[in-house]
A = this chain, B = another copy of it.
Amino acid sequence: MISPLEVFRTYIKEKGLRNTPERETIIREIFSVHDHFDVDELFLRMRDQKSKIAKASIYRAIPLLIESGLIKEAFFEDGHLHYEPIYGHSRHCHLRCICCGKVVEFVEEEMDNIVDRLAKEYHFNILDHRLDFTGYCAECNNKMNDQDNVDTKELL
């Protein structure tokens, strides 16, 4: 499988841009963890590894990483955007606990059928979708119910 770096180099060449060690460091850092991130977090992770890349360079790289298909916007939370790697990742959805912030990722097979059906029905060329669920995870739900003296064991 082509590495994220190679994908990016190809994209850069196609666009007539220039590749830089800074951008490659950013990509390496993102794909060394394979998980959601935000700009500040990524900046700090890279600084921990002696990288002196400016935050502005991360902000400037992100549209290119999206355009080249390496990452995408995941969600807006805590006043800023969060991203996630998508290259080499199967399309997944999120289940997020609004109490503790825990995120469960899963692949929903049914989505392909829905996409096909919608594309036909609404004459759309559907390229992407975002499916996120929010609620309370079992732990938080139980914690709350213990406090409220409500019995909701049926959840577990």
The interface of chain A, by Cβ under 8 A from chain B, is 73, 75-76, 81, 95, 97-98, 104, 106, 108, 110, 114-115, 118-119, 122-138, 141, 152, 155-156
Selected from B95, B126, B133, B135, the residue in CB contact (under 8 A) with A135 is B126
- Cross-chain contact A127 with B118 (CB below 8 angstroms): no
Selected from B76, B129, B135, the residue in CB contact (under 8 A) with A131 is B129
Nearest CB to that of A152 among chain B residues? B125
One complex includes copies of this chain to the number of: 2
Given known contacts A76-B81, A106-B118, A114-B110, A125 and B136 CB-to-CB distance under 8 angstroms:
yes
- Cross-chain contact B125 with A155 (CB below 8 angstroms): yes
Q: How far is the CA of A128 from the CA of B115 in the complex (A)?
A: 20
Nearest CB to that of A99 among chain B residues? B125
Contacts of A119 in B (CB 8 A): 135, 155
- Cross-chain contact B98 with A108 (CB below 8 angstroms): no
- Cross-chain contact A115 with B133 (CB below 8 angstroms): yes
- Say how far A142's CB is from chain B's closest CB, in angstroms: 10
- Cross-chain contact A130 with B128 (CB below 8 angstroms): no
- Say how far A59's CB is from chain B's closest CB, in angstroms: 13
- Cross-chain contact B95 with A126 (CB below 8 angstroms): yes
- Say how far A36's CB is from chain B's closest CB, in angstroms: 15
Q: Which of A97, A114, A133 has the most CB of B within 10 A?
A: A133
